Amino acid sequence: MLGYSDKRTVRKHLNPLIEQGRISMTVPEKPNSKNQKYITVK
């Protein structure tokens, strides 16, 4: 969706948003899961 294929690049952008509490993982106990998705937090 972001247009990046490299996992490191994606995480570079997602990790700060997760730490800020702006997005959350749908499977937090398995951050590397192929089924991992992210949802916005209001």
- More confidently predicted of 8 and 15: 15
Domain that holds residue 28: 7-40
Average pLDDT over residues 17-33: 93
Q: Quick one: average pLDDT of 8-35?
A: 90
Number of folded domains that form the chain: 1
Total-model pTM = 0.71
What DSSP string runs through 1-42?
--S---HHHHHHHHHHHHHHTSEEESSTT-TT-TT--EEE--
pLDDT at 19 (0 to 100): 94
In a domain, 1, yes or no: no
Residue 40, φ and ψ in degrees, nearest 5: -80, 150
* Region 9-17 average pLDDT: 86
17 inside domain: yes
Confidence (pLDDT) at 7: 75
Average pLDDT along the chain: 87
